[in-house]
Amino acid sequence: MSENTKQQVREFYDQIGWSQVSDGIYQNARYEDLRPVSREYIHRCHLRVKEHIAPSGDLLLDAGSGPVQYPEYVAYSENYKHRVCADISMTALREARHRLGDHGLYVVMDVANLPFKSDAFDAVVSLHTIHHLALSEHRAAYIDLIRVLKPGRTAAIVNGWHQPILMLLAEPLIRIARIFKGRGLKRKKAWSGVEDASGTFVMKMTPRWLKQELGGVLDYEIHPWRSLSTRFLRWFVRPELGGRQFLRFFYWLEERFPRFFGENGQYPLIVFHKQVS
Ligand SMILES: C[S@@+](CC[C@H](N)C(=O)[O-])C[C@H]1O[C@@H](n2cnc3c(N)ncnc32)[C@H](O)[C@@H]1O
């Protein structure tokens, strides 16, 4: 990936993604389902990260923190002395500082080149950030995030899968629904590092890729963060059709069968354990 592409990602977030469209709501939230019917499901999914990291400590690293935009995200570090918000975008960090004040420490950096010493953090979280790197940089980025974690601790990392089975199964239904609504068919995305809906560079991975690259190198488990994409939620989850109840049931299924939904849903929560040597 050229430095030029990274620069474009940074400019995108500085100028567009983290600009506020209304009070406390960023342009980036256009790609989230903020409707009341989905709120409880999304809230509970956000809180899953907290279940997999140490409940308290000195330093929590949030790699690609953005502005720490949701209250649940803020809660990850509520029992930590400091949260190190690290991001390539100055706008993100300025916004994060408004929210966290002195609880935060703010570092402009590239997640592919962490400027931290080894074994420094009691917890590492990184949500929706590694996918902004070229696939050739992902492996090293994961390894480096675990390098800076203290032995015996865990890191919780969330990114979207490329074409997860559950969402692929929903695609024909979405197409039919689009036709009924008189909306054209959407262009299919290739797995080659293309712009996502937001217009930024995004490159997602598959469970098989993860196993090939990190199996035997890092100790990890795949859990569901959120199996349903925003696109699925917007098309099929309707308040008048029992949407809230459906999501409660779906959340229960994710908890009951974490491995299946972690590997086949839209967003996995990958939990890395760093062994004490
Ligand atoms: C989709 S946003 C996610 C923000 C936050 N983690 C969340 O889930 O709301 C991606 C964030 O990653 C940052 N980012 C993109 N490429 C990066 C890189 N190479 N190094 C560090 N941060 C990066 C962006 O500036 C942006 O704040």
CB of 200 within 6 A of ligand 1: the answer is no
Q: Per-residue pLDDT tens for 175-227?
A: 887 787 777 666 555 444 554 555 678 999 999 999 999 999 999 999 999 99
Angle, nearest 10°, between helix axes 135-147 and 207-214? 60
CB of 99 within 6 A of ligand 1: the answer is no
Residue 108 has pLDDT above 60, yes or no: yes
SS3 label, residue 238: coil
Structure tokens at 48: 């899953």
CB of 45 within 6 A of ligand 1: the answer is no
Nearest CA to ligand 1 atom 8: 127
CA 212 from centroid of its chain's CA atoms? 21
Residue 1 has pLDDT above 90, yes or no: no
Distance from Cα 242 to the centre of ligand 1, integer Å? 34
Residue 10 has pLDDT above 60, yes or no: yes
Distance from Cα 87 to the centre of ligand 1, integer Å? 6
Residue 79 has pLDDT above 60, yes or no: yes
Taking Cα atoms as reference points, which of 262, 257, 245, 247 lies closest to residue 210? 262
Q: Per-residue pLDDT tens for 36-55?
A: 999 999 999 999 999 999 99
For the beta carbon of residue 51, count every other beta carbon within 10 angstroms. 11
Nearest CA to ligand 1 atom 11: 64
6-15, 114-123, 171-180: segment of lowest average pLDDT: 171-180
Distance CA 31, CA 198 (A): 7
Residue 73 has pLDDT above 80, yes or no: yes
Task: Give residue 241's pLDDT.
Answer: 94
Rounded alpha-carbon distances, angstroms, from residue 88 to 5, 112, 121, 133, 201: 12, 10, 19, 12, 14
Q: What global pTM score does this model have? A: 0.93
With residue 220 as reference, give the H or E element that holds it: strand 219-226
Rounded alpha-carbon distances, angstroms, from residue 173 to 58, 169, 274: 48, 8, 42
Q: What angle do CA 201, 67, 76 make, to 5 degrees?
A: 110
With residue 223 as reference, give the H or E element that holds it: strand 219-226
When pLDDT is cut at 50, 70 and 90, the band that residue 170 belongs to is: confident
Task: Give residue 201's pLDDT.
Answer: 86
Q: Which residue has the higher pLDDT, 166 or 24?
A: 166
Percentage of residues of the chain with pLDDT beyond 90 = 79
Task: Give residue 196's pLDDT.
Answer: 53
Average pLDDT over residues 237-249: 96
Task: Give residue 185's pLDDT.
Answer: 61
In ligand 1, which atom is closest to the CA atom of 13? 25
CB of 44 within 6 A of ligand 1: the answer is no
Nearest CA to ligand 1 atom 25: 89
* Cα within 13 Å of Cα(131), Cβ side: 20
Q: What residue has token string 């474009």?
A: 8
Percentage of residues of the chain with pLDDT beyond 70 = 94
Residue 44 neighbours by CB under 8 Å, 6+ apart: 251
